[in-house]
Amino acid sequence: MLSYRRSRALGWLSTRRIVFFAFVMLTALVLRVMDVNPAVAQSRSVTAWKVAESPGLDPDSPIWDEITALTIPLTAQQVTAPVGGGTVPSVRVSAAHHDQTLYVNIEWTDTTLDDGSGAPEEFADAVAIQIPAEHGAAVPAVCMGQADGAVNIWQWRADRQHGLDQLGKGSDFVDLYPNTDELFYPAQRAGNALATPGAEVVQNLVASGFGTLEPASLGVVAGQGRHLDSQWRAVFARPFPAQDDFQPTFKAGVEFDVAFAVWDGRRADRDGQKSVSSFVRLKVSDKTAAQPTTGGSEGGSSTGWLIVLTAAILGFGAYAVFIFLIPKPAPSKEDAV
């Protein structure tokens, strides 16, 4: 216990104190730089504020500027084959609701735009939201749900959006094969929504375990994406009332679980080869956001620094309690030597 004696001798400027103070500040700083909020790490949540005007499907609607996004880390999917992904570190998610419709805006970094699936080796960028199909039941496995716990998945794919944008603009294929009808598109004939021209950009799907993904009701989820300056943004919109048994009904004042997944087409991400989050809370707020609104429970820059300060003060408080209130043990013989 020599150091103890020394610290007593050196008073408030003891090495221990300086090191401790530096440690607290450093930890807080690191958390800040890494954009990690210890409070949110325990219960991350995205708040869908009530907004006065509809943000529509425009990912760049000014309404989104008013709502601060929550950064949610993604990791490689490692649970089932084929494993993969992990190249997109996070998504920034903001949410709002207007006139009984939920809007979710997801932004992520992807330096390459991959909106084609025209070549055998081409895969499209994509993003998906997953929500337990039954609200209030036990939270299903975050990986595609389970037999007794289905999950509702909305997937936006860049190639579908690209395809829809091209519709009606003339197609080489049609000119080359004027008399081809649906008979010669077996996937289309079989009712595969992915193969149906003009179908929706966002697919509404349901899964209850690996490899069980199935289409659910059509015409339920709308969406739109755009790529600008190495950033994808995709907006999803879904009316509050459920259209079938495979999706929850949204309600202001109620919390839901949501998870996110991103596919990077350039890296041949598809299926389980994706970057995934764990479940976070989606709070559908009954409040109109105050100015400036914050989308996530995690704050923006000012909140961030507030955390640094709070952490520092708390740290010092704890240290003071340790120093002054906890009785020191009586020095033993060895200590005295």
Q: H or E element: which one contains 311? A: helix 301-324
Q: Please return the burial class of 253, using the count of CB atoms within 10 Å of its CB with bins 0-12, 13-18 and 19+.
A: exposed
Is residue 120 a contact residue for other proteins (CB under 8 A)?
Answer: yes
Q: Is 173 in the site for other proteins (CB under 8 A)?
A: yes
Shortest gap between Cβ of 219 and other proteins (angstroms)?
19
Q: Considering only the stretches 1-9, 191-199, 253-261, 312-320, report the one whose residues sit in contact with other proteins under the rule CB under 8 A.
A: 191-199
Q: Which residue in 192, 249, 288, 310 binds other proteins (CB under 8 A)?
A: 192
8 A C-beta contact, residue 208 and residue 145: yes
| 185 counts as binding other proteins under rule CB under 8 A | yes
Among 114-122, 226-234, 241-249, 298-306, the segment contacting other proteins (CB under 8 A): 114-122
Residues 6 or more apart whose Cβ sits within 8 Å of residue 319: 17, 20
What is the residue-wise DSSP string for 65-123? HTEEPEEEE-EEB-SSSSPB-----EEEEEEEEETTEEEEEEEEE-SS------STT--
Q: Which stretch binds other proteins (CB under 8 A): 11-19, 26-34, 112-120, 233-241?
A: 112-120
Backbone angles phi, psi at 101, to 5 degrees: -130, 135
User: Which one of 36, 142, 194, 252 is in contact with other proteins (CB under 8 A)?
Assistant: 194
Binding-site size, other proteins (CB under 8 A): 36
Minimum gap (Å) between residue 201 Cβ and other proteins: 14
C-alpha 227/C-alpha 225 separation (Å) is 7
Q: Does 6 bind other proteins (CB under 8 A)?
A: no
**Least Å from the CB of residue 148 to other proteins:** 20
Q: Which of residues 259-278 bind other proteins (CB under 8 A)?
A: 268, 270-273
Q: Which is nearer to other proteins, 140 or 272 (CB)?
A: 272
Is residue 83 at the binding interface for other proteins, with CB under 8 A as the rule? yes
The residue from 4, 20, 21, 210 that contacts other proteins (CB under 8 A) is 210
CA distance 271 to 292: 38
Taking alpha carbons only, the member of 231, 221, 235, 252 closest to residue 93 is: 235
8 A C-beta contact, residue 253 and residue 284:
yes
Among 84, 140, 145, 265, interactor with other proteins by CB under 8 A: 84
In angstroms, the first-to-last Cα distance of the chain is 10
Binding footprint of other proteins on the chain (CB under 8 A) = 80-84, 117-122, 159, 173-174, 176-177, 180, 184-192, 194-195, 210-211, 213, 268, 270-273
